[in-house]
């Protein structure tokens, strides 16, 4: 179960990486991704060869998480350099803070209440923190509702 939990931690990094990669593809610069993907594949393979014999399948999950984090870092730098765009530090820190508080809330609820209640609770905390930290303003939410 622990390796699956570790792999779940890698999902946000995988999603962020894919978003950045599709941004590069949309700009018709997909060939620039080849060295990044090749390096990630090589790092994952070498990490597994180095750590799995001694630490079993748990090491593979940690290697995957580490490589995904590294790929996101490289992709952020690449997108900034190639396209001149990137996430603003202030808004990114608000999103990360809201997610961290939601994660903590979900983890606190998971033992006593179970997975479904913890997930719903984490989503409620995320929504509240999004408003409290002004990741999305009330005016933006009203405009979103009106646009339907």
User: What is the Cα–Cα distance from 35 to 43, expressed in whole angstroms?
Assistant: 12
Q: Which segment, 59-63, 115-119, 143-147, is predicted with the most confidence on average?
A: 59-63
pLDDT bucket at 1, cuts 50 / 70 / 90: low
DSSP state of 117: H
Confidence (pLDDT) at 67: 96
pLDDT digits (tens, 9 = 90+) for 50-69: 999 999 999 999 999 999 99
Q: Which has the minimum average pLDDT: 26-30, 65-69, 76-80, 99-103?
A: 99-103
Pick the residue with more confidence: 137 or 77? 77
Residue 23's Cβ-side half-sphere holds a number of Cα atoms within 13 Å equal to: 20
């Amino acid at each position: 179960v622990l390796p699956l939990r570790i792999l779940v931690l890698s999902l946000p990094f995988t999603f962020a990486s894919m978003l950045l990669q599709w941004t590069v593809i949309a700009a018709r610069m997909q060939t620039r991704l080849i060295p990044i993907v090749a390096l990630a594949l090589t790092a994952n393979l070498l990490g597994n060869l180095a750590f799995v014999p001694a630490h079993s399948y748990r090491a593979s999950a940690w290697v995957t998480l580490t490589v995904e984090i590294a790929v996101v870092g490289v992709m952020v730098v690449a997108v900034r350099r190639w396209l001149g765009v990137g996430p603003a530090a202030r808004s990114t820190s608000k999103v990360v803070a809201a997610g961290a508080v939601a994660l903590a809330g979900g983890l606190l609820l998971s033992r006593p209440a179970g997975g479904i209640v913890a997930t719903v609770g984490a989503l409620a905390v995320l929504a509240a923190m999004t408003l409290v930290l002004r990741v999305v303003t009330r005016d933006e939410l009203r405009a979103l509702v009106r646009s339907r």
